[in-house]
Amino acid sequence: MPRLQLLRREGWKRSVCCYCGVGCGVKVQTKDGVVSAVRGDEDHPVNRGKLCAKGALLSDIFGEEGRLLYPHVRDEKGATERRTSWDEAIERASGAIRRAVDEHGPHSVMLYGSGQLVTEDYYLFGKLAKGYIGTNNQDTNSRLCMASAVTAYNLSFGADAPPASYSDIEQANTFLIVGANMEACHPILFERIRARKRVARDAVKVIVVDPRATRTTEIADIHLALRPGSDVALLQSLLFEVRLSGGIDEDYLSNHANGWDDVASSLSGWSAERAVEETGLDAVDILEAARVIAHNGPMLTFWTMGANQSTSGVDKNFALINLSLATGNIGKPGAGPFSLTGQPNAMGGREQGGLATTLPGHRLVANPEHRAEIERAWGVEPGAISEKPGVTAIEMVERLERGEIKVVWVAATNPVASLPNSDRVRAAFAQAETVIVQDAYHPTETSQLADILLPAAQWSERDGTMTNSERRICLLEQVSEPPGEALADWRIIVKMAQALGYGDGFRYDSIEEIFYEYRELSRGRDMDITGLSYPLLAQHRAGVQWPYPVASRSGPPEDNRRLFEDGQFHTPDGRAQMHVPAWTPPAESLDDEYPLALITGRVKDQWHTMTRTGRSAKLMKSEREPFLEINPADATGLGVRDRQPVRVTSRRGSFEAPARVTDKIRAGSVFAPFHWGSLWTSNGVSNASASEAVDPRSKQPELKFAAVRVEPVVA
Ligand SMILES: Nc1nc2c(c(=O)[nH]1)N[C@H]1C(S)=C(S)[C@@H](COP(=O)(O)OP(=O)(O)OC[C@H]3O[C@@H](n4cnc5c(=O)[nH]c(N)nc54)[C@H](O)[C@@H]3O)O[C@H]1N2
Ligand SMILES: Nc1nc2c(c(=O)[nH]1)N[C@H]1C(S)=C(S)[C@@H](COP(=O)(O)OP(=O)(O)OC[C@H]3O[C@@H](n4cnc5c(=O)[nH]c(N)nc54)[C@H](O)[C@@H]3O)O[C@H]1N2
Ligand code: SF4
Ligand SMILES: [Mo]
């Protein structure tokens, strides 16, 4: 029997994993309307049937346990929540928004969303906030995640357009992996790199830049364990040495890029020996890495949070993009500067204006023509979209403190656990006039502070589209029933819009209609998807990469496409724009009181604030509790033994965790996962210590560097 027929007979339906931005295809089986089994989809080009444990154990988390099943309200701050009807919850929420707008203006309202919404939800949130309420205060957790990459891609390529495809992995000879623990965080892509290395053996070289040794660095030919935050120094030095060893593609630069002269002059003095001072690396290792980059092309560069979550995040991105442009590693097989997305649909949000600075179709709030185009499309008055830049995630906390934001509406993110300096965040949310939380689970650290709780359907319980890291748009159809009275996010947004009196702009009978509305806004843009439709996506379960204009419709979707193959960029003159990256150390300095650099990040089997993965006993097995990685050299000086509890204190707050004494982390730095929020540990959370210093251009916080001291906890 053909596979598809067999699949149907056994009751399997196809979807995409709801965790990371890799976007693996899954097959889902349901029993009594609930997900009962999940397997990898052998026909999906991303993962060919493979899944990591998080995806494979998806069916573990689909009980009603921990779910927010009904709307609830709190009659006063701190009171126990009481179950209510959708009508009352929406009336209260919309009433609070209406009052705030009438009394304090539209900028007293903030919508804070997530890369875990489907693109249709994102778009509606933006339409409501930016087009109707009249404020650009719509930001998402992508601010903590991708904002530095978005800024740098826009400034370098004229569009937020990651050029490569996953299939370039099988054609690359050099992998430069910067600030990314791919084995844990993009496991299936990591498997593909490992497989490539196995097949091509000596031809393939892997360079990993990370202050820690991880499973990712196990496949590294060169591991550059630099001092945290010093990437710009390293990357400038690499480019300096690449140039010395003749690795510059002068033809490419003269035909397709502006700004090389300035970048080349900025390299002066950045010899490997000089970079040793800033990075703490050995000059031989830098020289060896430069030699590989110069002569072992094509090179594919992957980066994530070690680059983006930094006060020099945009500069790190510039330096990474420069390295690709200068060596001609872009727009050709096996090459490209590839910033991976973290969340399953961070990319979709980027496309449809999910950030306080963006509008649908890769448009920018700051651009008056873009605002006018969107106003016309939405049928709102000219000037309805404010020219005032919107409040970003970290700024939201300050505005709440100052009482400037009265109402905050949070959907599909858990900021009280995931924003840095969490005690301050909690206090800021507690003092808001009204907190509306739209989540699938309760309690979360944020829903504990909600005045109004709106139960959302989650993955598998609703339709929608998502875009993975390689610009692949997939349709995720509803395969199971939402529990209790939970509703798809878009339906909640429509209810709110209607209650606010904006019903005319939000008449949708199905989510598909929302898709067709924003699809039109992509016409003629770099990410044109006018050729796509729900039926086409239903037919091509493996997804379709953008751009996909109407003209593409003549044949079957062409897969594994790469951008900029013709060397034409989306800038006014069609040339890539190189920018000189400034070298600045992290915002906080180390001193006698706070001598160590705290890095925060992830473990393989947990997802963020654990609302879902924390419910799988199997996933909990691999890491049962938070920990602090510390180098033996530091531990000995502090009298800290392996597994002994330690207290970590920054200028903001502190937490306790058992020490893991290991030379996997460089001396002078310590590492803690950020997953365990206050609902999962009683010993304080690592985000109490993390820093809220932001990159001046991207407003992304420096979650990878906080000055701390570590002390043994005496029993
Ligand atoms: N298992 C799992 N997978 C996930 C997630 C999850 O929660 N769990 N979340 C998803 C999301 S949203 C994201 S954004 C991605 C994040 O994916 P990653 O960015 O790979 O994950 P992190 O652990 O945050 O950080 C990666 C590495 O950056 C290193 N690093 C710290 N400081 C520096 C520095 O200054 N320079 C360099 N070069 N490296 C540095 C850290 O040591 C760490 O190993 O993962 C996605 N995938
Ligand atoms: N210290 C430190 N902090 C960090 C980071 C770090 O590296 N270090 N990384 C940052 C990064 S990159 C990211 S992306 C953020 C992630 O931080 P968050 O977004 O706060 O983390 P999640 O736990 O993924 O939160 C998602 C929420 O959405 C809910 N949810 C799931 N599905 C749905 C749905 O379909 N609809 C609705 N309405 N709700 C749903 C979940 O129950 C959960 O409460 O954390 C950031 N914080
Ligand atoms: S690699 Fe990412 S998308 Fe694939 S199964 Fe694992 S968590 Fe899901
Ligand atoms: Mo992220």
% of the chain at pLDDT higher than 90: 95
Contact 22 CB / ligand 1 (< 6 Å):
no
E strands, 546-666, in order: 576-577, 596-601, 628-630, 645-650, 654-661
Amino acid at 54: K
Closest ligand 2 atom to residue 444 Cα is: 44
The pLDDT value recorded for residue 714 is 86
pLDDT on residue 556: 77
C-alpha dist (Å) from residue 145 to 21, 94, 127, 393, 686? 12, 30, 23, 11, 17
Give first-to-last CA distance, the chain, whole Å.
65
Using CA atoms, how far apart are residues 271 and 505, in angstroms rounded to an integer?
A: 58
Q: What is the pLDDT of residue 607?
A: 98
Q: Does residue 534 surpass a pLDDT of 60?
A: yes
User: What separation in Å is there between the alpha carbon of 145 and the centre of ligand 4?
Assistant: 4
Atom of ligand 1 nearest to the CA of 146: 14
Q: Is 152 left (phi over 0), alpha (psi -120 to 50) or beta?
A: alpha
475 beta partners: 465
Tell me what pLDDT residue 8 has.
56
Residue 640: HSE in the Cβ half-sphere, 13 Å Cα cutoff: 29
184 lines ligand 1 (CB under 6 A): yes
Query: Residue 190 carries which side chain, given as an amino acid letter?
Result: F
Cβ–ligand 3 contact at 472 (below 6 Å) = no
Q: Are 352 and 361 in contact (CB under 8 A)?
A: yes
Whether residue 437 contacts residue 410, with contact meaning beta carbons closer than 8 Å, is answered with yes
pLDDT confidence bin for 620, thresholds 50/70/90? very high
Tokens linked to 646:
């330690």
Query: What does the pLDDT read at residue 560?
Result: 85
Q: What CA–CA distance (Å, rounded) separates 81 from 498?
A: 25
Instruction: Report how far residue 680's alpha carbon sits from residue 700's, in angstroms, rounded to the nearest whole number.
Output: 26
Helices (H), 439-593: 489-499, 511-520, 534-539
The closest residue, in CA terms, to atom 6 on ligand 3 is 52
**β-pairing, 34-40 with 25-31?**
antiparallel
pLDDT band at 1 (very low <50, low <70, confident <90, very high): very low
Q: What number does the ligand 2 atom closest to the CA of 461 have?
A: 35
Nearest CA to ligand 3 atom 4: 24
Partners of 364 in the β-ladder: 358
676, containing H or E segment? none
Q: Tell me which residues have their CB closer than 6 angstroms to ligand 2.
A: 114, 116, 141, 144-145, 305, 309, 342-343, 411-415, 417-418, 420, 438-441, 444, 456, 458-459, 489, 600-601, 608-609, 611, 674, 686-687, 690, 703
195-224 mean pLDDT? 97
Q: How far is the CA of 429 from the centre of ligand 1 (A)?
A: 27
Closest-CA residue, ligand 2 atom 30, reads 412
Q: Which residues contact 299 (CB under 8 A, 6 or more apart)?
A: 172, 173, 174, 175, 176, 293, 324, 327, 329, 334, 335
Binning pLDDT at 50, 70 and 90, where does residue 372 land? very high
419-434 pLDDT, tens digit each: 999 999 999 999 999 9
The model's pLDDT over 250-299, given as tens digits with 9 standing for 90+, comes to 999 999 999 999 999 999 999 999 999 999 999 999 999 999 999 999 99
When pLDDT is cut at 50, 70 and 90, the band that residue 499 belongs to is very high
Q: Please state at what angle helix 511-520 crosses helix 119-126, rounded to 10 degrees.
A: 70
Average pLDDT, the chain: 96
Token pair 């009807």 in the structure block, residue: 85
- The DSSP symbol for 403 reads T
Q: With a cut of 80, say whether residue 158 has pLDDT above it.
A: yes
* Spatial CA neighbour of 452 closest among 468, 466, 439: 439
**386: Cα within 13 Å, side-chain hemisphere:** 20
Respond yes or no on whether the N-terminal peptide bond of residue 547 is cis (omega within 30° of 0): yes
Specify the pLDDT at position 10.
63
Whether the bond between 71 and the residue before it is cis, its omega within 30 degrees of 0, is no
Strand order in the sheet with 407-411: 82-83, 72-73, 452-455, 434-439, 407-411, 109-113, 138-140
pLDDT in tens, 581-601: 999 999 999 999 999 999 999
Residue 38, ligand 3, Cβ within 6 A: no
SS3 state at 669: strand
Q: Is residue 20 lining ligand 1, measured as CB closer than 6 Å?
A: yes
